[in-house]
Structure 1
Amino acid sequence: MYLNTISSSEGSRKKSKRVGRGIGCTLGKTCGRGHKGQKARSGGFHKVGFEGGQMPLQRRLPKIGFVSHLKMLSAEVRLGELNSLSVDVVDLKSLIDANIVPIFTKKVKIIKSGSLSKAVTISKEIKVTVGAKASVEAAGGKIEA
């Protein structure tokens, strides 16, 4: 291979438009820029989002963050909070009745925080982390599959 034989592959380099070559090529006279105006002039450009001096959309709208609506429906329960329950089977209804999770909660996950001193059975509708599962089983409880 020699340097004088290297060439780019077919179709990798697009031919540039040849403007101002007469009326037969649709890019003659105004060269595809239309008639008058800022965009027709040489050097006539404006920054992205510029609206001719009007307050741009990104500055008219208020700055707001993002709040996931799913976050309101899910809750985390610590292992230590399960000690205050008077029932042996922990399910979503018992957690709502004990005021541990809000009423509108749909998904609950038990995390390993604190310690569990009594044996409880956790229903299958409640998710459990690996560490929390080990702690529940160490306390003599079980997790329904």
Structure 2
Amino acid sequence: MKLNELAPKEGSKKRRRRVGRGISAGQGASCGFGMRGQKSRSGSGTRPGFEGGQMPLYRRLPKLKHFPLVNQKQYTIINIGKLANLATSSEVNLETLMAEGIITTNDGPLKILGQGEINVALSVKAAAFTESAKEKITQAGGSWEVIEA
């Protein structure tokens, strides 16, 4: 037999606590709530998370620094300027960039950023693009396509 296996006998019932019935009953006068204060008054008391008027923890948290984003997407990023040396009308994706040695580590799906200039027409396939990167690719005569990560 273990402590977590203990239970009352089948069919037995425990009497409810009757408070405020005199000093001999064990819970007389103040009914176990103490003398004064907010938690001794009638009613439900305070709501869960109430900290006496101080800004509660659940409202303070986003204001504090260094809280990580939940389910943050991790991308392998590259600027459009790094693609300027590739051959015209070549297909650009994560695998071809790894083979060329332009990208050395695979940190997740490919994202193209818009810093730099490009003047060769490329067919770029990536998981995400910035608006400026899309503009520069189309101005150079190339095409871009969003693929599922």
Q: TM-score, normalised by structure 1?
A: 0.49
Q: TM-score, normalised by structure 2?
A: 0.48
